[in-house]
Amino acid sequence: KQQKSKMPKYPGLERYSLVEKMGDGAFSNVYKAYDTKMDRMVAVKVVRKFELNAHQNKHLHRDMKKKPRVTERANILKEVQIMRQLKHSGIVELYEFSESNEHYFLVLELAPGGELFHRIVKLTYFSEELTRHVIVQVAQAVRYLHEEKGVIHRDIKPENILFEPIPIIPSPPGAKPDEDDKEDEGVFQAGVGGGGIGRVKIADFGLSKVVWNEHTMTPCGTVGYTAPEIVKDERYSKSVDMWAMGCVLYTLLCGFPPFYDESIQALTEKVARGQYSFLSPWWDEISSQAKDLITHLLCVNPDERYTIDQFLAHPWIKAGEMVEEVKE
Ligand code: ADP
Ligand code: MG
């Protein structure tokens, strides 16, 4: 394949043959690759060691980015350590972790469809049915993180939500898969709401955090002796994922985000005040139940914001379950 020759060679990564670049971050490169040992396609996230600092601390003030190397290493190890504990169909699995002098390598389960973000751009916006199909899967993964693993993702957004496409024409029985075929691109089954989206998977645990003791599976600190601010902090940190899910839900339904401004300062103020609206005409046809759910996620007060269980119990989510049941 022509692209193969253009792929970089990384010492220490000989087991994998890189096929094409999937993600083009400023500080990490993600490649689709063939694992020669396991005979399967994977995604390899290559993180340059010397650039890690600025990336990991992208949310911090510039003066705080000058941290020693040790911190960079700790950050990537944290991402790896958290991912290793996770096993869920809605979360990208970490298969292997290794490093060379210059890079860290995270070998990940491949999500062949890539980012949800690109699918929104392609479709302009999602139908309510397709949106529900996607957000329910995200929510189930978040429920697993929050309630079973005590993990807060902290960077939920359409770039970090990946998917498996539904191929339109199933290969006839006995047909030999053509490996040079460009992954049947553009050939999608209508699927739910015509989106061609199958399973949805959360990726990128680079900013995530554990709020539970990993061994006892209890909140950090001894149960019964935990201070209120710790208990509260745990709730607040989970609620950041719920806010982000509100933003994703809003964006899927109309094609643009709830908060936007050219100026970062003005944008920050809008977010701080929770200043968004269901703009006409884009929101005119969207159900009031969908809007109601968004309203309960985009509340400035985290105490009032829905938890993941409240989210999953909302009528708009439940409406989908009825449809699924009727189909069966
Ligand atoms: P960063 O910390 O640089 O944002 P990510 O883990 O989010 O790193 O990966 C960057 C991009 O690479 C993603 O937004 C996505 O486009 C692509 N990517 C990451 N993991 C996978 C995967 N498992 N399958 C397919 N594409 C992926
Ligand atoms: Mg990312």
Q: What is the DSSP string of 131-170?
A: HHHHHHHHHHHHHIIIIII-EE----SGGGEEEEEPBSSP
142 lines ligand 1 (CB under 6 A): no
Which ligand 1 atom sits closest to the C-alpha of 112?
25
Q: Which pLDDT belongs to residue 328?
A: 54
ipTM over 0.85: yes
Q: Which pLDDT belongs to residue 69?
A: 47
**Of 38, 44, 8, 39, nearest in space to 203 by CA:** 44
pLDDT digits (tens, 9 = 90+) for 241-293: 999 999 999 999 999 999 999 999 999 999 999 999 999 999 999 999 999 99
pLDDT mean over 72-85 = 92
Q: Cα of 316 to ligand 1 centre, how many Å?
A: 30
Higher pLDDT, 55 or 117: 117
8 Å CB contact between 55 and 146:
no
Which ligand 1 atom sits closest to the C-alpha of 205?
6
94 lines ligand 1 (CB under 6 A): no
- Dig out the tokens for 229 from the structure: 């601010």
pLDDT digits (tens, 9 = 90+) for 295-328: 999 999 999 999 999 999 999 999 987 766 665 5
- Could you give the CA distance from residue 129 to residue 135 in angstroms, rounded to a whole number? 10
- Can you give the pTM of this predicted structure? 0.86
Q: Which pLDDT belongs to residue 45?
A: 96
Residue nearest to atom 23 of ligand 1 (CA): 110
Our measurement of the distance from residue 318's CA atom to the centroid of its chain's CA atoms, rounded to an integer in Å, reads 23
Q: Cα of 161 to ligand 2 centre, how many Å?
A: 9
Q: Which pLDDT belongs to residue 74?
A: 86
Binding residues for ATP: 45, 109-111, 159-160, 204
What mean pLDDT value characterizes the chain? 86
pLDDT for residue 202 is more than 80: yes
Please pick, among 24, 39, 63, 155, the residue that the annotation labels catalytic: 155
Q: Cα of 207 to ligand 2 centre, how many Å?
A: 9
Active site residue 261: no
